[in-house]
Homo-oligomer: A and B are copies of this chain.
Amino acid sequence: MPMKRVKPPANKLLKLLSLHEQQQVIENSEIVDLAFGDILCEDNQNPRHVYFPMTGLISLVIRIDEEAPLELAMIGWEGMLGATGLLGISEAPKRAVVAVTGTAVRMTVKDFEELARNGTQLQTIAKRYLFVLMRQLERTAGCTHYHEVNGRLARWLLMAHDRSTGNGFYLTQQFLAKILGVQRSAISIAASALQQRKLINYSRGDITILDRKGLESAACSCYDAIKKDQHSFTYLAGVH
C-alpha cells in the first residue's frame, strides 16, 4: 500500500532564510522544469545558473575513461547545485544530470554571487551545504567500494524517495545500473529480490515504494549516515 506523503512545495535551504532574503531570492530567480536526462552543468565548463530543487532529483556524476558516469552525490529539495561557486572558481566540479523530473528555483551564477556575498544568510547556508555535500561525496565513495549492489540499490531508492513527491518515479534498470556503476543484470537481480520481498513494485521503469521500513532495513548503513549528517549540519545548526 503506497503511503500518503505530503511535502512543502519549496526548497529547504531557501526556507531557512529570513523573509527579507527569501524575497530577494524570489525577485532574482525563476521557476524551471527539470526534465529527466537534462545536463544542468558539464564538467570543467562554466555553469550559467545555480539550482535550488523543489521536486525532482539531480545527480552529480564523474566520468572516468570510457566507463559509465558514476554517481557521487544526489541533490534534491534539501540542497542546491552550484555551491562551489563560493570557492571563487567558476568551473563546475562535476557533471550534474537530472535523475528524476521535477522543478527548481533557478538563479544566474552572477546573481547568486551577489546575493550570497559576505555576511548574508544565503552565504552561510550555502557554505554549510557545501560541507554536507563533501561529506556525501566521501560517504558515497566508501559505500561504492565496500557495499554490495543490493544494499546500495535500496539506499539509492530511499534517498530518491526522500527527495521526491509521491511514491513513484521513472527509473529504468539501465539507468540505475549506470549511476551505480554496475551491470544492468545485477540491478535486475537486486530489484527482483526487493520486489519479491514486497518492498518495491516496478514495471518498465515505473518504480513504487511499498514498504519504507523494510527498504531501510535492506539498505546499507550509508542511508542513515548521510541522512543524519545532512540533518545535523544543515538544519539543526540555525542560521545566525
Instruction: Spell out A's residues near B (CB within 8 Å).
Output: 62-65, 67, 70, 72, 84, 86-89, 93-94, 118, 124, 127-128, 130-131, 134-135, 137-147, 181, 221-222, 233
Residues of B within 8 A of A143 (CB): 64
B65 near A130: Cβ-Cβ < 8 Å: no
Within the complex, the shortest CB–CB distance from A65 to chain B, in Å, comes to: 6
B131 near A62: Cβ-Cβ < 8 Å: no
Within the complex, the shortest CB–CB distance from A180 to chain B, in Å, comes to: 10
A88 near B145: Cβ-Cβ < 8 Å: no
Supplied contacts A84-B131, A118-B118, A137-B141, 14 more A-B pairs, CB within 8 Å: A62-B138, A62-B141, A64-B147, A67-B142, A70-B141, A70-B146, A72-B141, A72-B142, A87-B130, A89-B233, A137-B137, A137-B138, A141-B141, A144-B145
Secondary structure dominating the interface of A: helix
- Contact for A221 among B65, B138, B140, CB less than 8 A: B65
Residues of B within 8 A of A86 (CB): 127
Residues of B within 8 A of A89 (CB): 127-128, 131, 233
Residues of B within 8 A of A84 (CB): 131, 134
Residues of B within 8 A of A146 (CB): 64-65, 67, 70, 181
Per the bound structure, the CA–CA distance linking A86 and B222 in Å amounts to 26
Within the complex, the shortest CB–CB distance from A92 to chain B, in Å, comes to: 10
A87 near B127: Cβ-Cβ < 8 Å: yes
Within the complex, the shortest CB–CB distance from A125 to chain B, in Å, comes to: 10
